[in-house]
Structure 1
Amino acid sequence: MPTNHPIVLLRERDGGRYLPIWIGAAEAAAITYAQQGVVPPRPLTHDLMRDILAVLGHELTEVRIVALKDSVFHASLVIDGGKTEVSSRASDAIALALRTGSPVLVEPAILDEAAIVVSSEEDDEVEKFKEFLDHVSAEDFEGPTPEGETGDRPDRPDLPE
């Protein structure tokens, strides 16, 4: 994003709405690791939470985005089919849900209040852009020095001054 703040877009399963949730960099990394199947050499916080639940014989049944207060999303971790609920930040709840394969649900009133509608053409563009991001690397943006340039930049000899 232009503001350099990561964002999670939750897509409505049977509709064209998206719920944008701005999150912190650490949570964005945790979510990305889970989406990409990255297994760190030692458990990260959300891996630890998943492992603690499992060792204690509990299961994260679902994550619910339950409130929007002062532009901040609040979530609830539903454990053991609703026997226990734990309040959570939305970003942490999503990161944990990805690690446990649990569904993420959003209260309809929150969707009505904060979701954005994306048309099918825009949805196709979003998918194309996500596919582009999945396959792009920093090296794709490096190019040769233009003709006539010396390329004498000490930090990047391949770019002109």
Structure 2
Amino acid sequence: MPALSDPRHERFCLLRLAGKTIDAAYEEAGFKQNRSNAARLAAQPDIMARVKELNEFAAQKALEVASFDAKQMFVEVMQDIADAKAAGDHKTAATLRMFMIRCFGYEDSPTLTHEHVRGKPIAQETAKEGQGEEAPPSPRVQGGSNVLPLSKAIRDLKRRIQET
């Protein structure tokens, strides 16, 4: 919907979008103060449609400004890590790794496991319906090669940085 033909009506809609009350928007748009006329103008279908359209447009613009492509950002960070390693800059590579750990929310996590990486707990395995009894639950892994204590990883990174 294009701008309204009456500039005072368009101004009224813009002021309503800015959060002004009906009375304040009516008066600031160039009309004489009159509560009933302000309410009548605000209730007109073309005015309501224009305010709704302006509100949707503002919301879309805000979303575009606030959103970003996290997947692309992490691909770029991984490339930066690889470039830093190739250049022998292990400190930058470790800093970028720590950035990624913080972004994924694992900075305060005691351990990182395959369970965390997939983003959901290990589900108990069950037999398909009609094919016998349920299988026993999968044991939770308490240690081993798929568990990496975060504090140990940080210590190892710091040690590697100090060695270079």
Please tell me the TM-score bracket, short chain as reference: under 0.3
Greater helix percent: which structure? Answer: 2
- Higher relative contact order (CA closer than 8 Å, sequence separation 6+): 1
Q: Which structure's CA Rg is the greater one?
A: 2
Greater strand percent: which structure? Answer: 1
TM-score between both structures, scaled by the size of structure 1: 0.20
